[in-house]
Structure 1
Amino acid sequence: MKKRLLLFGVLCTQFMVLAQQDAWVYLKDKQNVETSIVNPTTILSQKAIDRKNRHNVVIDARDVPVNESYITQLKNATGITVMAKSKWFNAVHVRGAETDINNLKTTFSFVDHIEFANRSLNTSKKSQEKNQSKFTSALTNFTYGTAANQIEMIKGEQLHLANYTGTGMTVAVIDAGFPNVNNMAGFQRLRNANNILGTYDFVGRDTDVYTNTTSNHGTLVLSTMAGYIENQFVGTAPDASYYLFITEYAPTENPVEESYWVEAAELADSLGVDVINSSLGYTTYDNANYSYSPSDMNGNTAYISKGANIAFEKGILVVNSAGNDGNTSWQIVVAPADAAGVFSIGAVQSNGLYATFSSRGNITQPTRKPDVVAQGQGSVVIFENDVIASANGTSFSSPIMSGGLACLWQALPNKTNAEIMQLVRESASQYNSPDYFLGYGIPNLQTALNLALSIDKNDKDIAVSLFPNPVKKFAYLKLPISEERVSITVFNMLGKYLFETVVTPLNNKMDVSSLSKGVYFAKLESNNVSKTIKFIKN
């Protein structure tokens, strides 16, 4: 069953195009990499640079654009149509006959390798291995109307009451179309504040996302975050700023839409976007040779999932619908929600019980999926004719949560995307007993905020430290002499539990030699100590 727009029950037209193939052409190098990194304003916006600096995200070769002369040569190649490009992968999505695509490898010395969407055509082991590789005062006393339940379920209204309504946060909505958003009364408040920062249709290659569309899906999704009708409806982040991107062409199913999505994520990164909401999912295609199998939903096979992981590495909080396959033979969370770096959102009913259509996690996925849940059955949205009505799907549980996360991050601007994700997991209703239906459960964003503030206070008040930092093999804990023993739980950047140990003032050594290079969190707990320390393993 095709699952692009994660609106439960959406039907799409089957369209078979078997004569031509889709493929990713990976390139060997880029131009002026070192110069561009030293002068980042030539490749990134200042907002993007500031966000990366704030969260210690390294600007690297992946931020440098694809060599345009290479793209021009590929466009001029016999039988080749260039559909999309990715600076993160240094790759170009092309369409053409299998022979013409294969000829690119022998014709152009800058082509490193080629991967066909039809993976049975990928005979090169190298190809397979490579790819593993403006302040305004906020109205806080909102009347939510029929949308009250979906925000109160996650305690988002408590953040609004504290003036955290999304001001200063930027959200990119990657979807299928936003008809009438430029005219609707439901988005008048958004437009009056000039909070639509930009638009782009990656399918049509123009900026018209309001009329050049085959779907109203994006309008409904956006309304759950940014919609506002006085005394009738309020979205979860009404004062955030938004970019609206189309990457999905609803009538057909083709993997080029994965490439469009990666392009949109790259643009979002360059613009300094904080949060991406994507209510899209990818499993099977019109051309069955391109289709994934459930076993491919391992977080590192689908092109879009690998791209989403890079977006996470770049400091973006990527939020994605888990999928609507709970009642189908597919059943499990779809790409890109299967990626470890994606905060995947399942669906519950208005009473908090599991919505049976919501896709489930699986032991083969790299982290607990879904991460958390929000209301996706009977969600309240605004349609393109300004009618307020209910709709079903993880398409809506995801943006409901995205808006709440934007408000939480506004309250905690010094936290990283990984820290925000972990705080929300820890606040959720079944954090200590997660399952494959609800993940960690229904979050309490007020609890997440309080937890972060208490951690920050303890960090200042308690004389506990970890050294050296970065650490190679052994880390040592400086503890108050009054502490007899302190329990330490170590998590990775994605909040995945790794191991536990115990230290005392006299035996204060922790062996981290088994950890790979990267960033980790050590959570220290005793009768008098509660503190989380971030450390780097070299």
Structure 2
Amino acid sequence: MKYCFTFFLLLFFSVMFSQEDAWVYFKDKPSSQSFLDKPSDMLTQRSLARRTAQNIALDIADVPVEKSYISQIKSSTGITVLAKSKWLNALHIRGTQTNVSVLKSLSFVDKIVFTNKTLNTGKKVNQNSTVQTKNKLKTTIDYAYGNSANQIQMLNGQALHKQNYTGSGKIIAVLDAGFPGVNTAQPFQNLQTNNRILGGYDFVNRNTNFYTGDDHGTLVLSTMGGYKENSLVGTAPDASYYLFITENDASENPIEESLWVEAAEIADSLGVDIITTSLGYFEFDKAGESHTYSDMNGSTTFISRGAEIAFNKGMIILASAGNEGRTPEPHIGAPADAVSVLAIGSVTAAKVKSDFSSIGPSFDNRVKPDIMAQGSATTVSDASGNIGTADGTSFSCPVMAGMVACLWQAFPTKTNKEIRQMILESSDRYTAPNFNYGYGIPNFGANLGINDFVINSTFSVFPNPAKTVISFSFPEENYSASVAIFSVLGQKVIEKQITNQNPFLSVETLNSGLYFYTFDADGLHKTGKIIKQ
């Protein structure tokens, strides 16, 4: 009996004093007219100019959350304010269930929504057992793309680059988990030297040191802004960037959705053109907080609602579709489910869907992912400046975002809606989309009247040098090929048949050094050197 009493006492204290997250929504914004009368108090001139150019009117969503409301919530017993959103007129708070619930009595509070869904409905919520893995006179330019050639040429991006459309004048906000090395590594020197890193912020730790955290954001940025001749050229090397940390890599918590929306609002106010985010939310650490597939309808999750508003403010939003294609719950996460967000899936170098790439449709049966780019063996730079490859829709997304910047530079008077539609209509499955590829792979050169996909008429071997695996890219009409690797003494050490669907050859067993390859397919014979690191 004594043990039972102790158990129930512990259970009582656990319920009474455990900390819960919630969103508190407000009924109004009493000071709205004074802000709308003086918009420069809310938004920079560049942000206002973007709206004017796209005929987007200011509205109450642009007005900051009422300061007196924030003060009263902060001063309430046991409440900590973690984030705020003017677009959704809400605060993300933390406190005991009792202390949070008391806030409902405040006259200006519209509603309280706990992140733990069981506290809102009183019903048990089914938990998913899978985990979300988380311009001047035009001149012709020939970039030495090196190993990054395939991911650019697949999108016919070199057609824009050769016309000097390299993202200049466009601003991209990257919302990610950290950016260490961006201020020191050689592939980012082009950005630093030309003052193309405009600033940033660490929303997780609430400080201005954004060259820290997990290097995932560094890898992501390198696919757009990285530049190392003959090794890596980003898809938008001359764009400018804001770097925002919104993801805490150590945990999965709904606060990250709120931080993302807060960062998106700042990006809007700064006049950003494009937001790219290689983040997705579905499963959280705490029981009751995770999303379900039914939430992937574009209007349920906090982050997706924020992302849709961001698009309505004139920006283009891109999000990774997710890496859950192999799991029992293979569908896209949030904010990729938002209606206007371009959800980017992943394909291999041979344009075949990566098996890990999350699929559609959205829960309300819309086409998702929207479009595809190379996310398997994408060439990236790490925080030390080492050039390598990485897999994930985390990389197909920024590869695409950089090309969007280049296209918008080429068509500066187009609205975000028009640019988005141009991209979809140029895609190779536009007339027959599906839930694996969406509308397919865009042809960015087509919008300039340049329709030759270089990748269909060229041959490449990458990465080279290589550590473990090399990939052969060859014309689509050649569906299979015989590859042989020879030592410097002429000894055949590897021989294998490869296909467009599986163009990879393992060199892991080889010693470091120089080797030669022969490549034979129907009507195509190639030889060359390979360096094994």
Q: 2:147·2:230 contact (CA, 8 Å) conserved in 1?
A: no
Deviations 1:438-474 (A, max 9, x none): 101111001134499xxxxxxxxxxxxxxxxxxxxxx
Partner of 2:98: 99
Partner of 1:361: 360
1:293 aligns with 2:297: no
1:337 aligns with 2:368: no
Counterpart residue identity of residue 119, structure 1: K
Partner of 1:63: 62
1:183 aligns with 2:191: no
Deviations 1:498-521 (A, max 9, x none): xxxxxxxxxxxxxxxxxxxxxxxx
Task: List alignment gaps of at least 5 residues for structure 1.
Answer: 1-17, 125-133, 453-538
CA RMSD in angstroms, aligned pairs only = 1.8
Partner of 2:127: none
**What's the secondary structure of 1:439's corresponding residue?**
coil
Q: Distance in 2 between matches of 1:315 and 1:235?
A: 24
Partner of 2:206: 205
Q: Distance in 1 between matches of 2:354 and 2:438?
A: 13
Alignment of 1:242-257 (within 5 A): 242-257=241-256
Alignment of 1:390-429 (within 5 A): 390-429=389-428
Deviations 1:138-157 (A, max 9, x none): 88321110000000000111
**What's the secondary structure of 1:21's corresponding residue?**
strand
Deviations 1:194-248 (A, max 9, x none): 011111000100110113x1x1100000000000012321100000000000000
Deviation at 1:110, TM superposition (A): 1.5
Partner of 2:302: 303
Partner of 2:174: 173
Q: Which moved more, 1:188-197 or 1:69-78?
A: 69-78
Q: 2:293·2:363 contact (CA, 8 Å) conserved in 1?
A: no
Return closer, same or farther for 1:141/1:327 CA change in 2, 3 Å cut-off.
same
Return closer, same or farther for 1:218/1:152 CA change in 2, 3 Å cut-off.
same
Alignment of 1:270-289 (within 5 A): 270-289=269-288
Task: List alignment gaps of at least 5 residues for structure 2.
Answer: 1-16, 123-134, 452-533
Q: Distance in 2 between matches of 1:340 and 1:288?
A: 28
Partner of 2:107: 109
Q: Distance in 1 between matches of 2:82 and 2:302?
A: 15
Deviation at 1:69, TM superposition (A): 1.9
1:119 aligns with 2:120: no
Q: Distance in 2 between matches of 1:121 and 1:186?
A: 48
Partner of 2:150: 149
Partner of 1:385: 384
Deviation at 1:417, TM superposition (A): 1.2
Partner of 2:505: none
Partner of 2:197: 196
TM (norm. structure 2) is 0.77
**What's the secondary structure of 2:147's corresponding residue?**
coil
Deviation at 1:367, TM superposition (A): 2.9
Computing the radius of gyration from Cα coordinates, the structure with the larger value is 2
1:376 aligns with 2:375: yes
Deviations 1:290-325 (A, max 9, x none): 001112111111110011010011111000000001
Alignment of 1:482-493 (within 5 A): none
Counterpart residue identity of residue 390, structure 1: T
Q: Which moved more, 1:425-434 or 1:83-92?
A: 425-434
Q: 2:187·2:385 contact (CA, 8 Å) conserved in 1?
A: yes
Counterpart residue identity of residue 108, structure 2: F
Q: 1:423·1:451 contact (CA, 8 Å) conserved in 2?
A: no
Q: 2:139·2:162 contact (CA, 8 Å) conserved in 1?
A: no
Q: Distance in 1 between matches of 2:190 and 2:140?
A: 11
Deviations 1:315-352 (A, max 9, x none): 11000000001110110111000010100100000000
Deviation at 1:111, TM superposition (A): 1.1
Q: Distance in 2 between matches of 1:123 and 1:364?
A: 21
**What's the secondary structure of 1:147's corresponding residue?**
helix
TM (norm. structure 1) is 0.76
Counterpart residue identity of residue 175, structure 1: D
Partner of 1:228: 227
Q: 1:279·1:320 contact (CA, 8 Å) conserved in 2?
A: yes
**What's the secondary structure of 2:83's corresponding residue?**
strand
**What's the secondary structure of 2:221's corresponding residue?**
helix
Q: Distance in 2 between matches of 1:56 and 1:428?
A: 27
**What's the secondary structure of 1:146's corresponding residue?**
helix
Q: Distance in 2 between matches of 1:135 and 1:61?
A: 39
Counterpart residue identity of residue 50, structure 2: R
Q: Distance in 1 between matches of 2:218 and 2:59?
A: 35
**What's the secondary structure of 1:122's corresponding residue?**
helix
Q: Distance in 1 between matches of 2:92 and 2:139?
A: 43
Q: Distance in 1 between matches of 2:316 and 2:95?
A: 35
Deviation at 1:19, TM superposition (A): 2.1
Counterpart residue identity of residue 89, structure 1: L
Q: Distance in 1 between matches of 2:277 and 2:392?
A: 13
Q: 1:276·1:316 contact (CA, 8 Å) conserved in 2?
A: yes
Deviations 1:258-283 (A, max 9, x none): 00000000000001100000000000
Counterpart residue identity of residue 78, structure 1: T
Counterpart residue identity of residue 148, structure 1: A
Counterpart residue identity of residue 79, structure 1: G
Counterpart residue identity of residue 238, structure 1: P
Counterpart residue identity of residue 199, structure 1: G
Deviation at 1:188, TM superposition (A): 0.4
Q: 2:177·2:248 contact (CA, 8 Å) conserved in 1?
A: yes
1:159 aligns with 2:160: yes
Partner of 1:440: 439
Partner of 2:22: 23
Q: 1:345·1:394 contact (CA, 8 Å) conserved in 2?
A: yes
Counterpart residue identity of residue 76, structure 1: S
